[in-house]
Amino acid sequence: LGENEGSDIMFYINPFNKGLIFSKENINKFLKQLKLDPHQDYYKTCSNESILLRVLKNLEVSFQKEGNVSKLEQVKYLIGVLVSED
């Protein structure tokens, strides 16, 4: 990763971990622990649509595990709407 790549981003918020805030250095340490080379894709921001899709996919798995067919169908419908807009 070049020195100036992603330099306009001051911090990252992880909406899937209680809004935990990460700096670029935090991400670098995490990647090092995983023995992964820093790749510029790891520092890109996510679109609202991709975050929403991930939330819906997580709900889909949860509702499927608990056997909540009604909620599962609703979530699948929303995923379909979101994906069809792409």
| Residue-wise pLDDT tens digits, 6-62 | 457 888 888 888 889 999 899 999 999 999 998 888 888 888 999 999 999 999 999
Tell me which amino acid residue 16 is: F
How many residues are recorded in the chain? 86
Per-residue pLDDT at 3: 47
Per-residue pLDDT at 20: 92
Query: Is 40:18 a contact under the CB 8 Å cutoff?
Result: no
Query: Is the model's pLDDT at 86 over the cut of 70?
Result: no
Residue 55, token pair as written in the block: 């939330």
Residues paired with residue 13 on neighbouring β-strands, in sequence order? 21
Per-residue pLDDT at 82: 93
